[in-house]
Amino acid sequence: MNYENILSEQQNSIVTISINRPSKLNALNKATIQELHEAFKDVDGDPNVKVIIITGSGEKAFVAGADISEFANFSVAEGGQLAAQGQAMLFDYVANLSTPVIAAINGFALGGGLELAMSAHFRIASDNAKMGLPEVSLGVIPGYGGTQRLPELVGKGRAMELIMTGGMIDANAALTYGLVNHVTTLEELLPFTQKIATKIARNSSVAIASAIASINAGYEDGENGYDTEITEFGRCFGTADFKEGTQAFLEKRKPEFPGI
């Protein structure tokens, strides 16, 4: 598919999706959110894709937020709709994908940019990255899940402070907070992320999908993560991957997971 605002590139079983509006610091306008939805949907449905990396084009920004020029004149109803549609189409969608998504944060990740990175299953940042939720400086609040995912990742007090000040933290502070798992140089960011993605890709993709569903269930209102874990654990026993994984172990060879 041809995209205007994003690039999608596959290397072996790893797809890297780059938001490609560097002159606007990769700000998320409506068209970009739509294209990201299509791209994620497309690769999630492809059995040859085992891991997705999401990053920003250029050396300055991952994503500098939702496109402010698009919503500056919105009404109350339009504001609510913007958040609801964005969450359904991209942010919740990514968080609940069965293919692992890693955010490689290569610069500013602000507002909707940090919310997108937080929707990914985990994050790696380059040492020039700056992260924050500056929405209250615009008279609005994070609307793409930021008020929920930031406290989950860094704790309530730190999230309150970051959101109330609208300030930015650097990559090392984000590492200390647990917001990102690793910090690299900008040059090393993609190679390092690809190395981790390669490790993930060697494992059973169906078991990983069950793990994502179980972990996410613990954070969903009205769901019992332990119950989900039991169901997903049982489900694994019916997969060809489980048969191959256990057989390969017993035969002292590397597994060749069929991914079903």
Measured in degrees and rounded to the nearest 5, phi and psi for residue 224 equal -105, 110
Query: Active-site residue 115, yes or no?
Result: yes
Nearer to ligand COA, 21 or 50 (CB): 21
If one asks whether residue 162 binds ligand COA (CB under 6 A), the answer comes out as no
Q: Give the per-residue contact string, 54-73, with ligand COA (x = CB under 6 A; - = no).
A: ----------xxxxxx----
Count the neighbouring beta carbons within 10 Å of the beta carbon of residue 223: 13
Catalytic residue among 35, 59, 70, 135: 135
Query: Active-site residue 59, yes or no?
Result: no
Nearer to ligand COA, 24 or 50 (CB): 24
Nearer to ligand COA, 17 or 66 (CB): 66
H-helix segments, the chain: 30-44, 68-71, 76-86, 92-95, 112-119, 146-154, 156-165, 171-177, 186-201, 205-217, 225-236, 240-250
Nearest C-alpha neighbor of 65 from the set 33, 104, 99: 33
| Shortest Cβ 103–ligand COA spacing (Å) | 16
The distance from CA 101 to its chain's CA centroid, rounded to whole angstroms, is 5
CA distance 38 to 115: 18
Of 22-30, 116-124, 174-182, 244-252, which segment contacts ligand COA by CB under 6 A? 22-30
If one asks whether residue 115 binds ligand COA (CB under 6 A), the answer comes out as no
> 25, 90, 154, 180: which one contacts ligand COA (CB under 6 A)?
25
Nearer to ligand COA, 100 or 142 (CB): 142
Q: 42: which 2 tokens?
A: 């497309």
> 6, 18, 24, 232: which one contacts ligand COA (CB under 6 A)?
24
Residue for token pair 């994503």:
63
Beta partners for residue 108, in sequence order: 61, 130
Residues 61, 144, 99: CA angle, nearest 5 degrees: 75
Catalytic residue among 115, 152, 232, 251: 115
Nearer to ligand COA, 54 or 83 (CB): 83
> 56, 86, 100, 134: which one contacts ligand COA (CB under 6 A)?
134
Nearest C-alpha neighbor of 171 from the set 129, 201, 211, 136: 129
| Shortest Cβ 143–ligand COA spacing (Å) | 8
The site for ligand COA (CB under 6 A) is made up of 24-25, 27, 64-69, 108, 110-112, 134-135, 138
Active site residues: 115, 135
